[in-house]
Structure 1
């Protein structure tokens, strides 16, 4: 909160709330990444003292937990997620999880290493499990494909953010110095497609494979 002279003014007593803190934290995390999110920086943006923030948030760890939960509850779960076929709901959840992990720099690393979930994250877990159960899977199959779903979505995001092994292998094959025209006809035929296929297409195909595997397991 800044004055016309450029100095940061103090927020009036009683105007700070946990909701305001989380909103400001989300802005910092989206614009600058999770590493930029500190109590000091947040206090400065809010025009409040760090001690004022500590009356609402115990520490940085709790602040990060609140941000994760807010993202899960308000950004990941799309409107109308409880309606429609199970496979549509599963695809929607996969797409929104991927989108939000990419939207907040550093979030994917936290999500893949953090071991505690708040209410928003637990709701997301429940929605995924509900979709799998409605596909016709038994409890063990539901648990199995839930873990496969997480591995697919979180793994895809990590690869897109930190280097895709498949992309590296593709480029190594296409740009090999020992490659001569006509020696590898299948690779020659695939080359324009290998260069054109997007990450979205790969993600959609991975989800197709998962949905087909779930349907097959349920049918058996």
Structure 2
């Protein structure tokens, strides 16, 4: 088919299916039921197409999950203009965005932390954004490497704990304070422990990270 100007019309590699719609429906399934529920069969059903039609665009579940994770990183996490604003504000916004969006898709953290996970353009752009912010903070290469891993450990570790059990839950609930020999200092802070939420801890961890980066920045 030709355009009115006589030039051939570009043919979409996704054929009759719209790529954006495929990814949008896949994200919807993953958000509501988790990545485990995201299969070629289920996606084809929700799209109202045959599995064979979908296989022409997405070869298997691994590729489907990869497309979904790529879309999450590209559309929902990475700020549109990551180069603007003070670096602490940008780093905190990125951490909160990662926590919010990845946490909204059950099973995501298990895929991200699995060995040999393939990273598409979206996750790689996310990595680039983290490194850019750390470089803008004034870190040299050695400290950038260190705090890149600390940042990921903080955010992904928080998601993993939320998915598989918080190791400090008993401490936050102050159950140890009921022991007969509990220290007086612990009994004194018991009400405050009970009032602290995982979100409070996460924000405090981010405060500590930003303070540490500030200390090591070279300006």
User: For this structure pair, what is the TM-score category when the shorter chain's length is used for normalisation?
Assistant: 0.7 to 0.9
Deviation at 1:195, TM superposition (A): 0.1
* Residues 18 and 90 of structure 1: CA distance in aligned 2, closer, same or farther (over 3 Å): same
TM-score of the pair, normalised by structure 2? 0.87
Query: Could you tell me which residue of structure 1 aligns to residue 191 of structure 2?
Result: 192
State the Cα distance separating 1:115 from its structure 2 match: 2.5
1:3 corresponds in structure 2 to none
Contact 1:102 1:157 in 2 (8 A): yes
Cα separation, 2, equivalents of 1:175 and 1:160: 25
Pair 1:35-2:36 in alignment: yes
Partner residue of 1:152? Answer: 154
Match of 1:204 in 2: 203
Contact residue 34 and residue 107 of structure 2 kept, 8 A: yes
**Superposition RMSD on alpha carbons, in Å?**
1.6
- Structure 1: segments with no counterpart, 5+ residues: 1-13
Match of 1:161 in 2: 163
Is the Cα–Cα contact under 8 Å of residues 24 and 45 in structure 1 kept in the other structure? yes
Contact conserved, 1:17 with 1:56, CA < 8 A, in 2?
no
Q: Alpha-carbon deviations, 1:181-219, whole Å to 9, x = none? A: xx6321121011000011111111101111111111114
| Number of equivalences | 203
Q: What SS does the corresponding residue of 1:64 show, helix, strand or coil?
A: helix
In structure 2, the partner of 1:116 is 118
Q: Does residue 1:53 correspond to 2:54, yes or no?
A: yes
- Within the alignment, does 1:93 sit opposite 2:94 as a pair? yes
In structure 2, what is the equivalent of residue 25 of structure 1? 26
- Return closer, same or farther for 1:175/1:16 CA change in 2, 3 Å cut-off: farther
Q: CA deviation at 1:144?
A: 1.2
Match of 1:173 in 2: 176
The match for 2:143 among 134, 137, 141 is 141
Q: TM-score, normalised by structure 1?
A: 0.87
Q: What CA distance in whole angstroms lies between the structure 2 residues aligned with 1:106 and 1:43?
A: 21
* Cα deviation 1:64-123 (Å, max 9, x = unaligned): 100000000001113443210111111011001001121001111111115321111111
